[in-house]
Amino acid sequence: MALNLSTRLFAGRELVDRIARQAPARLAVTVFGAVVLLFTALLMPPFATETGKGASLVDALFTATSAVCVTGLVVVPTGEYWSTYGHVVILLGIKIGGLGIMTLASILGMAVSRRIGLTQRLLTAAETKTAKLGEVGSLVRVVIITSTALELLIALLLFPRFLVLEESPGEAAWHAVFYGISAFNNAGFVPTAEGLAPHVGDWMLCLPIIIGVFIGSLGFPVILNVARARRGTRGWSLHTKLTLTMSVALVVIATVLFATFEWRNEGTLGPLDWHTKLLASLFAGVMPRSGGFSTIDVGSMHESSWLITDALMFVGGGSASTAGGIKVTTLAVMLIAIVAEARGDRDMDVYGRRIPRDTLRLAIAVTFIGATAVLLSSILLLEITGWTLDVVLFEVISAFATVGLSTGVTESLPEAGKYVLVVLMFIGRTGTMTFAAALALRDRRRIIRMPEERPIIG
């Protein structure tokens, strides 16, 4: 009997290894879904809530998906509804989701065997978008060391500030750790009922969160490249340069536009003094990267600000980061292609490098799949809720891009609407192309190619 069990375990392992080699993206999505279900089960017991009644299936599933997918959208107030146990479960979900399920699997494999096998390398390559399997080991180390170090640094910066706010040492430490992990992982969850609104002008509290969200949205390949570069910016890869350039540009543009549109809005920046307005504008400019925190009432923003935020959330952050969206490099590649086409250039050149055309094709596919997911989800929510398009579009893009910003209507979603956003958050976190690859039955390799003919465009 023991022999039969051993044989079955070996056969199961061989099956997993074969799937991992042939379709790592499919296995990644499967494991990620299993983790979401696990955290759903962990949030359903009565002791997970303050009332002791136990959360409903849809609320537990929504919260678990939002935590593991590092989104931050909530259908129940986090600080008031969940117990300490529930908060710990949510924080663990954020941590695991931020590291990436496949990255975590490789970390566990390293701890046990002191090395990473081919299967683990393939799995982590699918999660982290690392092209060379030889780099996965280094990337995993950077993931765990950098994320933990930065989360700890943010917590250490926040801890004395919470003490000044007259919290007990234990409460201040808990809030500092929670915000540190939530900020770096771009989760947007807050452990208190009032959130960050009372601290809109608090530079010592908001600035560490801003920095944590921004660094977390860059992506671990960028952090790895910057850490390894010995010749300064000359050692940066094209991916690093595009990610940093686009991220900084989008933050600056977002901050300026938000300040311009909201400066006199009595529901947001209007009543604040000028230096508080600057901090609030910077905070609001960084959060659409996928941070999801807010120091002002998003529901009171002008519709023009909503639209700008929609666009920024859809773009998101860097590849293989804790941020969502189609990613800044996707936008950069399409902008470079537009400039090249306008100039009549055959090649897409930037920073002394030529971008392959298949990269542009992938960027277009990612954008189209993302836009399609947003479109279909918006149509469903419009029919389910009867809300206006501006509100629905904001919530849908926030879920798809795993941002967590909300106009304040998420908690009033009907049950069917909650399931729509659950699916959308899952798609947004696993990645549009990864999810599509997981659903693909096979790879098409064509030996015969058809004659080329150019259709009329425009």
pLDDT given for residue 223 in this prediction: 82
Higher-confidence residue: 25 or 419? 419
Per-residue model confidence as pLDDT tens digits over 182-239: 999 999 999 988 889 999 999 999 999 999 999 999 987 888 788 877 777 788 889 9
pLDDT surpasses 80 at 79: yes
pLDDT surpasses 70 at 57: yes
pLDDT surpasses 60 at 438: no
Nearest to 16 by CA among 39, 40, 34, 38: 34
Rounded Cα–Cα distance for residues 29 and 173 (Å) = 34
Half-sphere exposure of 329 (CA within 13 A, CB side): 23
pLDDT surpasses 80 at 27: no
Higher-confidence residue: 230 or 308? 308
Predicted structure pTM score: 0.88
Question: Which residues neighbour 83 within 8 Å (Cβ) at sequence distance 6 or greater?
Answer: 47, 48, 49, 50
pLDDT given for residue 391 in this prediction: 95
| Cα dihedral 327, 320, 281, 373 sign | positive
Cβ contact 251:285 at 8 Å: yes
Average pLDDT, the chain: 85
Buried-state track 257-289, b at ≥16 Cβ within 10 A, e below 16: bbbebbeebeebbeebeeebbbbbbbbbbbbbb
Q: What is the mean pLDDT of residues 365-387?
A: 94
Identify the bridge partners of residue 354 per DSSP, sorted by sequence position.
349
Amino acid at 169: P
pLDDT surpasses 90 at 66: yes
Nearest to 425 by CA among 398, 406, 405: 398
Q: What is the mean pLDDT of residues 311-316?
A: 95
pLDDT surpasses 80 at 125: no
Per-residue model confidence as pLDDT tens digits over 87-97: 999 999 999 88
Q: Which residue has the tokens 């893009």?
A: 397
pLDDT surpasses 50 at 441: no
Rounded Cα–Cα distance for residues 20 and 119 (Å) = 6
Higher-confidence residue: 121 or 429? 429
Q: What is the mean pLDDT of residues 66-91?
A: 94
Nearest to 293 by CA among 153, 181, 134: 181
Residues of the chain above pLDDT 70, percent:
82
Q: Please count the residues of the chain.
A: 458
Q: What DSSP state is assigned to residue 197?
A: G
Which of 99-108, 110-119, 181-190 shows the lowest mean pLDDT across its residues? 110-119
The domain spans of the chain are 23-439
pLDDT surpasses 60 at 35: yes
Per-residue model confidence as pLDDT tens digits over 14-23: 555 555 555 5
